[in-house]
Structure 1
Amino acid sequence: MLVLVAVQYTVSPGDTLQSIAEQYCQGDDPRQVAEFREGIRELNYDVIGESDVWAGLVLEINRWE
């Protein structure tokens, strides 16, 4: 049974939305990772909008486990 888990992730220097999505996405299909990346953006849109992330930013990430 899958459960939706909310995770807080503090962005490290050098991180990008893409690298974070690659770390947390459970598949490695590029389309799946791109969808996951945009899901992170949507969940945190009030903070990051269309820009990329910066060190020290705390992101909310939802994932199925």
Structure 2
Amino acid sequence: MKQFILGLVLVAMQYTVNSGEMLQSIAEQYCQGDDLRQVAEFREGIRELNYDVIGESDV
């Protein structure tokens, strides 16, 4: 049997979107690293957590 250590950190913060900002730019600002897939997943995570506010529209 193999043992793995799994860590999950959930951080919630409030962010006010400024005029001209997009989910992509916000995700790039807060996502660590330059992995485009990771940034895309982070962006969609923001959308999912705020779906009741933004729905499918662009920010």
In the superposition, the TM-score normalised over structure 2's length comes to: 0.80
Counting strand residues as a fraction of each chain, which structure ranks higher? 1
Distance 1:45 1:19 in 2: 18
Shift of 1:5: 1.6
Question: Identity of aligned pairs, percent?
Answer: 87
Structure 1, unpaired ranges of 5+: 54-65
How many residues of Structure 1 are paired with residues of Structure 2 in the alignment? 53
More displaced, 36-45 or 4-13? 4-13
Structure 2, unpaired ranges of 5+: 1-6
Q: Secondary structure at the match of 2:11?
A: strand
C-alpha offsets along residues 19-52 of structure 1, whole Å, 9 cap, x if unaligned?
Answer: 0000011121011000000000000001101101
Tell me whether 1:40 sits opposite 2:46 in the alignment. yes
Tell me whether 1:52 sits opposite 2:58 in the alignment. yes
Counting helix residues as a fraction of each chain, which structure ranks higher? 2
In the superposition, the TM-score normalised over structure 1's length comes to: 0.73
Give, as a single letter, the amino acid of the residue that structure 2 aligns with 1:13: S
Greater RCO structure (CA 8 Å; 6+ sep): 1
RMSD: 1.4
